Amino acid sequence: ATPTALLVGTGRGAQLGILIKGPEVLESTREVDTVVLDKTGTVTTGVMTLHEVIGEDRDLVLAVAAAAEQGSEHPIARAVVTAAQTSGLALPVVHDFTSTAGLGVRAAVDGTGEVLVGRPQLLTDAGLDLPADLAAAFEEAGRSGRTVVAVGWSGRVRGLLVVGDEIKADAAQAVHRLRALGLTPVLLTGDHAAAAQAVARELGIDEVVAGVLPEGKVAEIERLQAQGRTVAMVGDGVNDAAALATADLGIAMGTGADAAIEAADLTLVRGEPGLVADAIRLSRRTLAVIK
Ligand code: ADP
Ligand code: MG
């Protein structure tokens, strides 16, 4: 390979907003046939807003959840805290806080004791009861494509928070362009299946893997590789870092977490999914010049 052509390729990438870690990265894109896209923050904006609170005492559910979420950097947490502040709710004092990546948070809140906010599974695994009406409401709200999280304390789930973000403006076009290059798109997310399916449908993605825990993302990449596929992974979160490193080509959103950028081979500076196709076209063209 002529190093000059590779350097020209990396220079052209930089002009487009594609930062390439080293010229040799271009080589590894040659065989890519599958592009795994993380959902939240990669094909969606990752800026969430609270749409609805479901429960008997909605103000209490929101205030307690916001108190518990104050220590979390997750987009869901930010949406919940902002909504509580906008509603003028006074947040109870929090004594203790832990967060579990891909599951939710737990905190000791004044007046309510231990509070959990996250996937229903986080709460039911901790022994909290999920009343039938809230279980039904969870399914119903999820069908809209929004993300639904549970809030509970003292032995029972007390309410649900419905949050959502928007699909990025260039995401559908980005998927279309990947297909035009002969690549198969796959949507991979920790979010529940209904929300993932709604986004996949809008983007024209047929292969969806949902409800995946952070450590499960690596296993999914390995599963695809075991099928003989060469996999590019596009992600933005701390939770995506290990999968980005495992993929044959890791692509990070420049708007995402430092851990994701460090683990990736390429960074899309402006966080536009449309640049994935540009990056793959660029490397194919650069390699064609060399051969
Ligand atoms: P993604 O793979 O879409 O980026 P995450 O792995 O960050 O999603 O989160 C997966 C799921 O875990 C969320 O949809 C939510 O149910 C739950 N979760 C994670 N962090 C939090 C939090 N701080 N508050 C509430 N729920 C959370
Ligand atoms: Mg993400």
In short, whether 254's Cβ falls inside 6 Å of ligand 1 is no
pLDDT at 1: 55
Q: How far is the CA of 240 from the centre of ligand 2 (A)?
A: 7
CB-count exposure of residue 16 (10 Å: 0-12, 13-18, 19+) = middle
Mutate-to-test residue for ligand 1 from 45, 53, 98, 103, highest number of ligand atoms within 8 A of CB: 103
- Asked if residue 62 and residue 134 are part of one domain, the reply reads yes
- Asked if residue 279 and residue 172 are part of one domain, the reply reads yes
- Asked if residue 103 and residue 85 are part of one domain, the reply reads yes
- Asked if residue 274 and residue 206 are part of one domain, the reply reads yes
- Asked if residue 35 and residue 83 are part of one domain, the reply reads no
- Asked if residue 113 and residue 244 are part of one domain, the reply reads no
pLDDT at 144: 81
In short, whether 72's Cβ falls inside 6 Å of ligand 1 is yes
pLDDT at 14: 86
- Give CA torsion, residues 129, 135, 137, 143, to 10 deg: 140
The domain tally of the chain equals: 2
Report the alpha-carbon distance of residue 270 to residue 215 in Å, rounded: 27
Nearest one of 284, 285, 288, 282 to 17, comparing CA atoms: 282
- Asked if residue 57 and residue 111 are part of one domain, the reply reads yes
pLDDT at 2: 65
Which residue range is the domain that position 33 belongs to?
3-45+166-290
Q: Which of 145, 164, 183 is the last residue of a domain?
A: 164
**ipTM exceeding the 0.90 mark:** yes
What's the whole-model pTM score? 0.87
Report the alpha-carbon distance of residue 233 to residue 36 in Å, rounded: 5
In short, whether 44's Cβ falls inside 6 Å of ligand 1 is no
Residue with tokens 């997310």: 189
Q: Which of 133, 164, 195 is the last residue of a domain?
A: 164
Report the alpha-carbon distance of residue 168 to residue 170 in Å, rounded: 6
Give, rounded to a whole angstrom, the gap between the first and last alpha carbons of the chain.
7
Strands 104-109, 94-100: pairing kind = antiparallel
CATH of the domain at 210: 3.40.50.1000
- Asked if residue 102 and residue 30 are part of one domain, the reply reads no
Q: Which of 164, 188, 211 is the last residue of a domain?
A: 164
Nearest ligand to the CA of 46 is 2
pLDDT at 289: 66
- Asked if residue 233 and residue 150 are part of one domain, the reply reads no
Nearest ligand to the CA of 117 is 1
- Mean pLDDT, consecutive 10-residue stretches, the chain (291 aa), reads 73 89 78 95 95 97 98 93 97 94 94 96 96 95 90 98 95 97 96 93 96 93 97 94 96 94 95 94 75 57
Atom of ligand 1 at shortest range from CA of 214: 6
Nearest one of 212, 207, 208 to 190, comparing CA atoms: 212
Mutate-to-test residue for ligand 1 from 149, 217, 236, 244, highest number of ligand atoms within 8 A of CB: 149
Atom of ligand 1 at shortest range from CA of 80: 24
